[in-house]
Amino acid sequence: MNRHLMENEIQKYMDGTLPVVDQKQIEKHLTGCEQCREEIRAYRQLFTELNEMPEFKLPEDFSQQVMNGIRQAAGSAERGALQEIVFSIVGLLIGIGATIYYTGVQPFLSLASGFSTPELSFFGQLLMQIRSSLEKIHIDFFTFGAAGIIILLITFADRLLLRQRMNLS
């Protein structure tokens, strides 16, 4: 053999899975090659140390612990999704409220009056009620609308960051 032993040859030699002819060739090579003898010695030392290590045992409830961890992670994801939906709805409602306050109900009522279905007349009544409620509160609706937009932006930014964090892990 004119070359050093390859990893797979050393492994098979150590395991005793080589054909007798190949094993004899390796043994002959080892008599004249200090580097390969050192490699074999290092493997033998490693295997000896591994065999001397205490046996590692998993706790009896290991699978239950793993399943509990999975359930907790799934619950966190569900709560995050619910939180995202709630923030989106709140932001949308604030945005609609601010729009109605600033533009008035009339454009929306005009849209609703174009259709004569009971659902849309309910929609018109709902818009009038929202407008009336907003006027009774007397707060700065610019701030109110800005808060809604900020909530929406935070929700969407968090969602984008969450996607990036999930892709990285």
What is the rounded CA–CA span in Å between residue 35 and residue 149? 70
Cα atoms found within 13 Å of the Cα of residue 99, Cβ hemisphere only:
12
Residues contacting 9, CB < 8 A, separation 6+: 18, 22, 26
What percent of the chain is predicted at pLDDT more than 90? Answer: 9
Residue 131 pLDDT:
64
- Between these two residues, 121 and 169, which has the higher pLDDT value? 121
Answer positive or negative: Cα dihedral of 25, 26, 30, 35: positive
Residue 155 pLDDT:
75
42 — pLDDT class (breaks 50, 70, 90)? very high
Radius of gyration from C-alpha coordinates of the chain? 36
| Reported pTM | 0.35
Residue type, 19: P
**Farthest CA pair distance, the chain:** 101
Residue 37 pLDDT:
92
Convert the pLDDT of each residue in 129-139 to its tens digit: 766 676 676 65
Residue with tokens 């290991």: 62
